[in-house]
Copies of this chain bind each other. A is one copy, B any other.
Amino acid sequence: MKLVSILSLVFLLFAHAEQEQVHAGQEHPNLILTVEGVTNMRASLGKVPLFDQSFETAREQVDAEIEAGIDVPIPKDLAGGYTHERHKANFFTMQKAGVLFQITGEEKYAVYIRDMLLEYAEIFPKLGKHPATRSYAPGKFFWQCLNDANWLVYTSQGYDCIYDWLDEETKTRLNTELFRPYADFISIENPRFFNRIHNHSAWGNVAVGMIGLVMDDEELIDRALYAFDIDDSVKLKSDNDGGTIELKGYKEGGFLAQIDHSFSPDGYYTEGPYYQRYAIYPFLVFAQALANKKPGLEILNYRDRLLIKAIYALINQTNAQGEFFPINDAQKGMSLASRELVYAVSMAYHCGGNDPQLLSIIKDQGRVPLDNSGLAAAKAIAEGKAKPYEYKSLELTDGAMGDEGAIGIIRADGLTLVMKYAKHGMGHGHFDRLGFLLYDELGEVIQDYGSARWVNIEHKDGGGYLKENHSWAKETVAHNTLVINKDSQFDHNVKAADKFAGTPYFFLPGDTIQIMSAKELNAYDSIVMQRTMAVVSIEELENPIIIDLFSVQAPENTRYDLPLYYVGGLMSTNQEIETNNSLTPMGTNDGYQHLWQEGQTALEGDVLRFTWFNHGRFFTMNADIREGDELLLTRIGANDPNFNLRRDPGLIHRRKGGNTTFASLYEMHGTYDYASEIPINSFTSVTDLKVLHESADYVAIQFQLKSGELYQFAFSLNDKQENSQHSLTTTMGPLKWKGVYHFKKHINNGKK
């Protein structure tokens, strides 16, 4: 018998033995961990570096908590305060302790969870609602049910891990005195929290479902999956964020309905990636538990594997630092490094087809979840299977059916351009239709403000949304999009904005030219706006250049303000700026009250040239000027009594008139570093920019580079048929082309 055969036999025998053990083994854990998975993890310890590190980190954290002793304080504080943070730390620790108990078999972890749960069981019956009354749905241990749902989602996992170890009496007590009534509180007693399509409700559904799975409580599981019928007697119609509350009945709400309504077919979540990151965890964790415990549901295949797609959608909405695009309410810096994504990406790898590109992201995360997925990913990394993740240009549709607007993302070299023409995003939406943001591989170039909030930081109003989030961050003027007559889009009315999505028009990923174009027909009465952005690679330029054409059909005497929140320091402009020796707020409402006007000028010449510097690079906007146009240099920070806003700079290109086009080019060029002090290519290569044609149906521009070379770009705004023939008369002669766009280098006859 050859050695290979012997080894095969040993393997088979061993595998068989393992299988036997599974079938003969205990029932729990069976949510996220499984008996088989635990056996694998035990066998792998010490052999898979990334898994071992994650295991050791968890052990250090939990051991430190055990050392510090159990504390289950009477609830009192808002987010950031002691009791809030303590209860939060408790649920994270219980979840980890459960895993450690399963992997190590050390009873101290089980004892810790049991003793802590008994303390919760002790206080729970005595608690009314949380004393803080800020939430539309106050919780028990926390100021809002949402956090209570978080507690239950994590704690259920820890409970599952010690369930078979507990004596019957303790189990019965916890089930009947803590968990079942707690699940009822979150659901039956708080229908406006539970019976809704919203990320809060998703957490609520999953909380009830997870504990239902642990206790084999089919009533709770059914309630989690489908919600329940209620009498709509509660009068509250909106939540703390101004989002509308629409109550759903049985099978209109619940987990499956959340999947149906929360994600578009591309996996985009209408509140944007910051909230998707937050919401994805309960979706995935419950899906994993259902996959383990109710495989017949085939939850991972639901809606064409939508939950796995949602993870990819998240990854695709990050910059080179792995940070999510801060669309809508979003704290900047939230990233693929978050605990939710650590869980999600490994799960996508393990349950979504072992895509080796995901492994490079997991490597960067530097840790894996302590479960089957984490072990599989860590093993694959140790085996050298990781491949770089290829970020591609793509459009993520919004709306449950994928027909309510989209987010456009263009990637070209190190550059990432994002335009928002999606749904409003409910209570966390911003009035930013057709706004854009731009990154290079080092960070922000043209920024979105994000939310005005310091999440969980007690100093800043308890860590919740600041009032400047409404008065500044959501307003149109806080974004890189057009403000009409100093009013925010939809008159900053969330309900009105929720009714209409943006209108995707054209999206072209590609190599030398990539284009996205979208329309907004509803944000302002009787006004049609269309933004067309093209990213083109030109041989003589270091980086692709961005063409930005904002076409508007509007009545005469409309006042346009087009802000640009460039990131960095102003180097120079070709205009004579008059700076102000006295600063007053630029307005009283719609966000203008938060802007100081540092300087202004009546624009002169054909082109506004504006160069700034950031993270070792130069950036120039070249913008077409019309007679009467003004440039205003702004600084955020007026009417900010608690210093909640960043003092970031911006510019506003102001124009008065009827139908018009704002035509701009953004160029990234050159380098400079403080240790060499050698500037390279610090001036723009663009020498001229002209609008050749503008109408309701077309826009055409021409720009010239230092070399003398001329480029023309033309675009059909209403006919995107591939075979349509177009012809225009322009100031530079006739222009003919086939298809939606035309881009061409024109020989210049020696003129500069």
Contact = CB atoms under 8 A, between A and B. Distances in A.
Nearest to A648: B647
B682 A459 contact: yes
A337 interface: yes
Interface string A633-647: 101011111110011
Given A331-B674, A331-B677, A335-B675, A640 B579 contact: yes
Given A582-B583, A596-B583, A638-B581, A569 B643 contact: yes
A675 B582 contact: no
Contacts of A107: none
Taking residues whose C-beta sits less than 8 angstroms from the other chain, chain A's interface range is 35 or more
Contacts of A459: 571-572, 611, 682-683
Contacts of A572: 459-460, 642
A676 B338 contact: yes
Given A582-B582, A598-B637, A649-B647, A457 B682 contact: yes
Contacts of A581: 584-585, 638-639
Nearest to A643: B570
A652 B658 CA distance: 49
Interface in A282-332: 331-332
Nearest to A596: B583
Most buried by B among A458, A599, A633, A678: A678
Contacts of A642: 572, 577
A8 to B, nearest CB: 44
B571 A682 contact: no
A679 B458 contact: yes
Interface string A619-643: 0000000000000010101111111
A659 interface: no
A122 interface: no
Contacts of A647: 635, 647, 649
A743 interface: no
A460 B571 contact: yes
A460 B679 CA distance: 12
Contacts of A598: 637, 643
Nearest to A585: B581
Given A579-B640, A647-B647, A674-B334, A456 B584 contact: no
A672 interface: yes
A409 to B, nearest CB: 21
Contact of A80 (B338, B638, B682): B682
Contacts of A85: 678-679
A492 interface: no
A675 B457 contact: no
Contacts of A569: 643, 646
A438 to B, nearest CB: 20
A649 B332 CA distance: 21
A338 B613 CA distance: 21
Contacts of A641: 577, 579, 599
Interface string A660-676: 00000000000011111
Contacts of A677: 331, 334, 455-456
A456 B460 CA distance: 41
Interface string A472-501: 000000000000000000000000000000
A88 B88 CA distance: 60
A181 interface: no
Given A457-B682, A583-B596, A675 B338 contact: yes
- The 5 lowest CB-CB distance pairs between A and B, nearest first, are A333-B674, A459-B571, A459-B572, A583-B583, A570-B643
Interface of A: 80, 85, 88, 331-335, 337-339, 454-460, 463, 569-572, 577, 579, 581-585, 596, 598-599, 611, 613, 633, 635, 637-643, 646-647, 649, 672-679, 682-683
Given A569-B646, A577-B641, A579-B639, 10 more contacts: A332-B674, A338-B675, A339-B676, A454-B571, A459-B683, A570-B643, A581-B639, A599-B641, A633-B643, A635-B637
22 contacts: A80-B679, A331-B674, A333-B673, A338-B676, A455-B677, A456-B677, A457-B672, A457-B679, A458-B679, A459-B572, A459-B683, A460-B572, A572-B642, A577-B642, A579-B639, A581-B638, A582-B582, A582-B583, A583-B596, A598-B637, A599-B641, A647-B647
